[in-house]
Amino acid sequence: MSRGQYPSTRMRRNRMTAFSRRLVAETRLDTADLIWPLFVIEGQNIAEPVDAMPGVFRHSIDQLLQQAAKAVELKIPAIAIFPSIDAALKDETGSLARDGDNLVCRAVSAVKAAFPDLGIICDVALDPFTSHGHDGLLDQDEILNDETIAVLCEQAVHQANAGCDIIAPSDMMDGRVGEIRTALDAAGHQNVQIMAYAAKYASGFYGPFRDAVRAGASLGKAGKSTYQMDPANSDEAMHEIALDLAEGADMVIVKPGMPYLDILARAKAEFGVPCIAYQVSGEYSMLCASFDKGWLDRERTILEAMTCFKRAGADAVLTYFAPEIAMIIRR
Ligand code: PBG
């Protein structure tokens, strides 16, 4: 392509007026691209602040319904529900994950009954339920792969029975997407989607989330690095995504978000499938801390981050800022 030279070409011309900047914008924000993660706890009429995430709460199911109503009102297409389980109910094997009447399943049925058109996403992983905080079954210091998958399949079917629309395996065991697909189909849930955390990295940016769901305080020295990916790797993420797609994933997640936009851009370019970014808890909290200090402009920075996710190739973004972004777009 031949391009002009200065002074006939002046890049700044298109930027001179607000109308022109709008005309040439390549990326636009849309409420339809938002997924709002929410935390649920047992009890009645509870909204308990998460210390490490200003403005984020653990809601009891009755209060969660009000948040869901807000999502519907703001036209946010989907929410992701994460349970915060009482320590007394956790055990080594995360047995509560296999109980179809557990907190997350009850939350899903309540939201589905009240708002049938709101999309509901559930993580499949054992970490909210295990006393050690790992995503899988632990033997000495090894996380067992195949044994864990069997439990994840049961967990997924319970969540689908409760009315979950999209199952999101976030555990990073090998082969779990295919087996979960088979289990869902066998239970008559052929139309339940799978949004695989395909490229999920062992990240320091999950710290505040582990506070929110009260999990992982006791993870060993290796943390989750024997199953989540090494932040040093990019080709490996493409390999992971290819495997999850071959096993039947309908959409893939890249996580964390902003430090991993290169992975997101590669995923979108190389596979051309629905790619979802997760702006994780640590990204949320570090932005909030700066807003609080007056170091960053809140609205401008939140919208810029969202725009960059879209520009890099995200079809949708999981973000704790979802309602705020939706309200700004509406104005
Ligand atoms: C659990 C899970 C985690 C997140 C989503 N699902 C934490 C982890 O893997 O340790 C992180 C979300 C966030 O930080 O916002 N498997």
Instruction: Express each pLDDT in 283-298 by its tens digit.
Output: 999 999 999 999 999 9
Cα(185) to ligand 1 centroid in Å equals 26
Q: Rounded distance, CA 141 to CA 231, Å?
A: 22
Average pLDDT over residues 34-43: 98
Average pLDDT over residues 77-82: 98
Average pLDDT over residues 48-75: 98
Average pLDDT over residues 191-214: 96
User: Is 7 a member of any domain?
Assistant: no
Taking CA atoms only, the protein residue closest to ligand 1 atom 6 is: 170
| Residue 259: C-alpha distances to residues 99, 133, 305 (Å) | 36, 25, 11
Average pLDDT over residues 317-327: 98
Q: Rounded distance, CA 15 to CA 32, Å?
A: 27
Do the Cβ atoms of 228 and 173 come closer than 8 Å? no
Which of the four pLDDT bands, split at 50, 70 and 90, describes residue 219?
Answer: confident
Q: Give rounded-to-5 percent helix, strand, coil for the chain.
A: 45, 20, 35
Cis peptide before 169 (omega within 30 of 0): no
Q: What is the DSSP string of 189-245?
A: -TT-EEEEEEEEB--GGGHHHHHHTT--TT--TTTTTTTSBPTT-SHHHHHHHHHHH
Q: Rounded distance, CA 133 to CA 218, Å?
A: 7
Which of the four pLDDT bands, split at 50, 70 and 90, describes residue 221?
Answer: confident
Average pLDDT over residues 266-271: 98
Taking CA atoms only, the protein residue closest to ligand 1 atom 14 is: 206
Cα(209) to ligand 1 centroid in Å equals 6
- Ligand 1 mutation pick, 81, 176, 280, 319, max ligand atoms within 8 A of CB: 280
- Rounded percentage of the chain residues whose pLDDT exceeds 90: 95
Average pLDDT over residues 29-46: 98
Amino acid, res. 15? R
Please, what's the b/e burial string for 192-207 (b: 16 or more CB within 10 A of its CB; e: otherwise)?
bbbbbbbbbbbbebbe
User: Is 274 a member of any domain?
Assistant: yes
Among 88-97, 215-224, 311-320, which is the least confidently predicted range? 215-224
Taking CA atoms only, the protein residue closest to ligand 1 atom 7 is: 206
Q: Indicate if 90 belongs to the active site.
A: no
- Ligand 1 mutation pick, 155, 206, 213, 280, max ligand atoms within 8 A of CB: 206
Atom of ligand 1 nearest to the CA of 208: 14
Atom of ligand 1 nearest to the CA of 284: 15
Collapsed DSSP state (helix, strand, coil) of residue 181:
helix
Q: Indicate if 70 belongs to the active site.
A: no
Residue 323 has pLDDT above 90, yes or no: yes
| Residue 229: C-alpha distances to residues 5, 138, 225, 277, 318 (Å) | 45, 18, 7, 16, 19
Tell me if the pTM is above 0.95. Answer: yes
* CA-based nearest residue to 248, from 192, 199, 200, 201: 192
| Residues contacting ligand 1 via CB (< 6 Å) | 123, 125, 127, 135, 170, 206, 209-210, 216, 224, 280-281
Do the Cβ atoms of 133 and 217 come closer than 8 Å? yes
Q: What is the DSSP string of 78-95?
A: EEEEEE---GGG-BTT-G
Average pLDDT over residues 303-326: 98
User: Is 146 a member of any domain?
Assistant: yes
Residue 217, pLDDT score:
73
User: Is 9 a member of any domain?
Assistant: no
User: Is 21 a member of any domain?
Assistant: no
Residue 65 has pLDDT above 90, yes or no: yes
Do the Cβ atoms of 100 and 109 come closer than 8 Å? no
Atom of ligand 1 nearest to the CA of 128: 1
User: Is 40 a member of any domain?
Assistant: yes
- Ligand 1 mutation pick, 38, 39, 127, 151, max ligand atoms within 8 A of CB: 127
Residue 159, pLDDT score:
98
Cα(128) to ligand 1 centroid in Å equals 10
- In sequence order, the 6+-apart residues with CB closer than 8 A to the CB of 213 are 39, 82, 83, 84, 85, 127, 128
The single-letter DSSP state of residue 314 is: -
If phi > 0 it is left, if psi is from -120 to 50 it is alpha, else beta; for residue 114 that is alpha
User: Is 4 a member of any domain?
Assistant: no
Cα(172) to ligand 1 centroid in Å equals 11
- In sequence order, the 6+-apart residues with CB closer than 8 A to the CB of 4 are none
Q: Which of 90, 200, 224, 268 is catalytic?
A: 200
CATH of the domain at 36: 3.20.20.70
Residue 196 has pLDDT above 80, yes or no: yes
pLDDT tens-digit series, residues 113-164:
999 999 999 999 999 999 999 999 999 989 999 999 999 999 999 999 999 9
- Domain span at residue 149 reads 27-330
The single-letter DSSP state of residue 136 is: S
Q: How many domains does the chain have?
A: 1
Residue 214, pLDDT score:
87
Residue 69 has pLDDT above 70, yes or no: yes
Q: Rounded distance, CA 61 to CA 44, Å?
A: 7
Average pLDDT, the chain: 97
Which of the four pLDDT bands, split at 50, 70 and 90, describes residue 1?
Answer: low
Cα(135) to ligand 1 centroid in Å equals 10
User: Is 47 a member of any domain?
Assistant: yes
If phi > 0 it is left, if psi is from -120 to 50 it is alpha, else beta; for residue 129 that is alpha
Residue 4 has pLDDT above 80, yes or no: yes
Residue 257 has pLDDT above 80, yes or no: yes
Q: Which of 224, 255, 268, 310 is catalytic?
A: 255
